[in-house]
Copies of this chain bind each other. A is one copy, B any other.
């Protein structure tokens, strides 16, 4: 039970050398939870990989621990990213742990401060730029090419190396790969990393290969539509990306695995989000629930056969997005009189 993190546990599968610092916040080793009630309702064997249990509350920690450890190994004293969400939180946490500076660049006036509170708590310095998100990313790439600052956006190749460990863990936890791996698709790095991981582990230990089913949100379904979405819109902010960085790799993962990149609506995402919490007691970020929404959709179309073993990746913790929870929850309490007999009558009625 004394888990020492990804760089330690999967060292032989990662670009870890004797010079790589033993950086960890004990990321990884996240639960693969069997969903008994949903499995029975749906006629499949459903597992969820609960990545919200990672140190900063999302799967990003897997790639970030690798990227930040390599930055430190290479003598960098600072890291930088353009991000408004889970990436910046993860970058800031590992930078703090590794005693590096962390700079986050955001488009001016387009980001609610609450989204950045976690990164700021970890000590990140926030810069805003007169421009849009793409311009922020361009600025970051340009700065990192000229100053001794390491870029940790997903173009950093160590990110995918770290992220692939989630596939290893699913194989270790199930004993083999599932029939189907369902996950949300935003920037498309994660589906690419999982596919890389499943292939490597199969070569290493004959664990089999799943069909990769990736789900974009309808309002930002660039890969499904085969076109860049200029103004992506979805409630699932963590996958609100109109021009995925790992587009080509995601298509390859779907094709090679006989899988599919599909889309789900915001309403389907929200329904899945609520159903998962109420039926299994698991509270994931809305974007995470694109995976379950996609499974429900493909069960109805017959694209997922009954009896399949399906693993759904829940990419982030539900606590990351309190606003959607508050807006989704009907929270008008029923008023009870402070009189035991009367209160008992009301509550007793619930059981009749």
Contact A120 to B331, CB < 8 A, known contacts A113-B326, A147-B344:
yes
Q: Which of A178-186, A235-243, A273-281 contacts B (4 or more CB under 8 A)?
A: A273-281
Q: Are B118 and A172 in contact (CB under 8 A)?
A: no
Residue with the greatest number of chain B CB neighbours at <10 A, chosen from A3, A172, A322, A347 = A347
The listed residue (B1, B29, B118, B274) touching A283 by CB distance below 8 A is: B118
Tell me whether A26 and B31 are in contact (CB under 8 A): yes
Residues in B neighbouring A280, C-beta threshold 8 A: 96-97
CB of A334 within 8 A of CB of B127, answer yes
On whether A129 and B274 interact (CB within 8 A), knowing A117-B322, A317-B319, the answer reads no
A116 to B325, CA, bound (A): 10
Interface presence of A232 (CB below 8 A): no
A173: chain B residues at CB < 8 Å are 1-2
B281 & A117 in contact (Cβ 8 Å cutoff): no
In contact, B146 and A344 (Cβ under 8 angstroms): yes
Q: CA of A50 to CA of B326 in the docked complex: distance in angstroms?
A: 26
Nearest Cβ on chain B to A192's Cβ, whole angstroms: 24
Shortest distance from the beta carbon of A219 to any chain B beta carbon, whole Å: 23
**A335 CA to B148 CA, complexed, in Å:** 21
Partner-contacting stretch, out of A53-61, A260-268, A291-299: A53-61
Inter-subunit contact B127/A333 (CB<8 Å): yes
Give per-residue flags for A314-326: 1 if the beta carbon is below 8 A from chain B beta carbons, else 0. Answer: 0001111010011
Find out whether the CB atom of B336 lies under 8 angstroms from the CB atom of A128: yes
Q: Is A25 an interface residue (CB 8 A)?
A: yes
Measured CA separation A89–B95 after assembly (Å): 31
The residues of B that contact A142 with a CB separation of less than 8 Å are 340, 344
B contact residues around A122 at 8 Å (CB): 277-278, 281, 283
A329–B120 CB distance below 8 A: yes
Q: 13 A-B contacts, Cβ less than 8 Å apart?
A: A55-B281, A55-B282, A97-B280, A106-B333, A120-B325, A120-B329, A122-B283, A127-B336, A128-B333, A143-B344, A143-B347, A147-B347, A317-B319
Chain A interface residues toward B at CB < 8 A: 1-3, 9, 25-26, 29, 31-33, 37, 50, 53, 55-57, 77-78, 92-97, 99, 101, 103, 105-106, 108, 113-114, 116-118, 120-123, 125-131, 135, 139, 142-143, 146-149, 169, 172-173, 274, 277-283, 317-320, 322, 325-326, 328-331, 333-338, 340, 343-344, 347-348, 350-351
